[in-house]
Amino acid sequence: MDLDKVERLRDRLLMCPICMDEYKDPRLLPCHHTVCLDCIHNILQASSITGRMFRCPQCRRDVCVPRGGIHEFPLNFYIISLQDELGTKTYHDTCDMCKRDWLISQFRCVDCDMVICKFCIHEHRLFQHDASRQYNIMRIEITPADVHLSSTRSCPKHLEEILQLYCCTCDKPVCITCICEDHKRHETVPMATKLSASRLALQEELDRLASEKRHIQQTLGQVQATSDSVSKWADGARKEVQDRGKDLHGRIDKMVMEQISVVGEGERRTLHELGTYSKDLRKYSEEADKGLRFLQDLQEGDMCLELLDCYDKYRNSLEEQKIKSSNKAIELKKFTFSEGWDLQFQQYYVGSVGKLACYSSRQKFLTKKGLLDNYSVKEFLFRLLTPGKIALLLVVISMLFTIGQLIHAYISDPNNAQEVGVGLFFCVYLFLASYFAYRKS
């Protein structure tokens, strides 16, 4: 058979869909697809939490792991027979990072779908993957002859030489030519010996990083606990501020309601008196209407002594109602409110709600003047000349007489101007005091 056909047949039938390499220990899944045993183990660790189920990489069907583990998946003897007939393929693939075609790649990253050599895998692990998720990297089996190289770096002084030794005196890798030229009397060791010693140092670094990670986790716990405490303190302070605000609002509302109740009580009393007086006036008006209708319906033939007696009785009753309803004085209360003041300085707040003032006055309704009663001249003068008005009139007359005397004294002797001025001042003061006393009374 042609060699190219054999290779094409091997690529079509003997290549694992996960590691993209020739099958190693091929196992048959329930969906009739074949996967390497190690690939099943790797994909199960990466995709399943319970370790009991994963998805086929080709048909995406859910596959349950047998009770005895992945080793109970049956061998695909058909694939094994083909491998026996076609022979094992020598693995050789170029690293996708350094692109060295002469260097065999020993690792495969399933997440990135890359084949990587053993020198580039460390950079890929440290810098290409997020630390929060676990990367899925598989080791590719190769022949022992492919793993002897300790490094691919060339000597910076002798570019054709590989760094195979390590100078402990200069603490740097060197090639064989450098040993003969610049490091003859220096202490040198093979690179493999140095790498073995470095492995122990890396193990100590592993322990140090593990200890540092534990310390970081403890610090994170402390930070989280502190954050919870800060939130708890803030919630407590916020609740106390809100409670204090509600308390202040309640006190202010209480003071406002007290003043509103005073206004309402004054209004209720005044309206009650006005309502009672309105009833009396309506009763008086109804009695007057009876008399009007009676007199309007009176005929000439109805005149008799009994009518006059009855009307006199009605008039006496109406007069009593008139006396009851006339000169009615009701106390009116006028409320005014002057706004308070407030002052805020930093967290302190001082102020007052305001002051409620009540002005009382008595108003008379249905006075005798309103009833069109006729006054005599004597009664008019008696009402006009009240004691206060008479006293004020006497003060004015006395003041005018005194002012006349002062003017006459000044005309007689101008040297008395100072005494005259003092007398005029006292006259004006006496008049103003009498006038304001009268107005107050």
- Cβ distance 34 to 27 under 8 Å? yes
Q: Distance between CA atoms of 61 and 70, rounded to whole angstroms?
A: 17
pLDDT in tens, 230-288: 999 999 999 998 998 899 899 888 988 988 898 888 888 888 888 888 888 888 888 88
Greatest mean pLDDT range, 67-76, 291-300, 339-348, 381-390:
67-76
- Cβ distance 57 to 43 under 8 Å? yes
What is the mean pLDDT of the segment spanning 160-176? 83
**Residue 149 pLDDT > 50:** no
**Residue 174 pLDDT > 70:** yes
**Mean pLDDT over all residues of the chain?**
78
Confidence of residue 146 (pLDDT cuts 50, 70, 90): very low
> What type of residue sits at position 8?
R
What is the mean pLDDT of the segment spanning 203-225? 87
Residues 6+ apart with CB under 8 A from 290: 314
Confidence of residue 2 (pLDDT cuts 50, 70, 90): low
pLDDT in tens, 395-416: 778 778 788 877 877 787 777 7
Q: DSSP per residue over 112-170, as a string?
A: TTEEE-TTTHHHHHHHSS-TTS---EEEPP--GGGG--S--PBPSSSTTSB--EEETTT
pLDDT in tens, 351-365: 777 788 887 877 777
What is the mean pLDDT of the segment spanning 67-92? 76
**Residue 50 pLDDT > 80:** no
**Residue 367 pLDDT > 50:** yes
Q: Distance between CA atoms of 372 and 195, rounded to whole angstroms?
A: 134
Q: DSSP per residue over 397-422, as a string?
A: HHHHHHHHHHHHHHHH-GGGHHHHHH
- Name beta bridge partners: 54: 63
Q: DSSP per residue over 232-301, as a string?
A: HHHHHHHHHHHHHHHHHHHHHHHHHHHHHHHHHHHHHHHHHHHHHHHHHHHHHHHHHHHHHHHHHT--GG
Which tokens belong to 82?
């083909």
Which tokens belong to 99?
């692109």
